[in-house]
Amino acid sequence: MDRKDFMKQMGIGFGAIMLMNCLQSCSEGEIPDPNPNPGGSTGVDFTLDLNAAANSSLKTQGGFLVVSSRNIIVARTLNDTFIAVSSSCTHQGTTVNYRANTNDFRCPNHGSEFSNTGAVTNGPATSALKKYNTSFDETANTIRIFS
């Protein structure tokens, strides 16, 4: 094999390898994460003790509490039920407030409003707040928030 044929074969081989890499990187499918849940947790699941001073706002109907470490707002409605949604407005991330008189959430930044299920009722936000399940244990005076 002379030098010219050798270089031609090398160029074709290199081109084939590059083409395969380009086609693979342009595909729509992603390579799945081999460990998508490294911490082992499958979602939100925590309990608030209403006897604790930090959670005292949930002792009264119409009160609410933002659990900053979890990015969740928990409210006790005027009907004496509990609701929990993500606390960050889906428009620009501002912490929303609970409005007991209308049983909904409002962003103080640009006025987005969300129903008690987290659905957008007034923009500029276009995405709903994530809603969480709640379970109240009257005997222990605790509330569980979970996915």
* pLDDT surpassing 50 at residue 14: yes
62 CB burial (10 A radius; 0-12, 13-18, 19+): middle
pLDDT-derived band at 8, boundaries 50, 70, 90: confident
What is the DSSP code (8-state) at residue 129? Answer: P
Domains of the chain: 45-146 (2.102.10.10)
Using CA atoms, how far apart are residues 123 and 35, in angstroms rounded to an integer?
37
Phi, psi of 60 (to 5 degrees): -110, 145
- The strand pairing partners of 122, in sequence order, are 113
pTM above threshold 0.75 = no
CB of 42 within 8 A of CB of 147?
yes
Q: Note the pLDDT tens digit of each residue in 80-111.
A: 999 999 999 999 889 999 999 999 999 999 99
Angle (nearest 5°) at CA 82 between 76 and 84: 100
SS (H, E, C) 16-78: HHHHHHHHHHHCCCCCCCCCCCCCCCCCCEEEEECCCHHHHHHHCCCCEEEECCCCEEEEECC
Q: What DSSP string describes 92-120? A: T-PBPEEETTTTEEE-TTT--EE-TTS-E
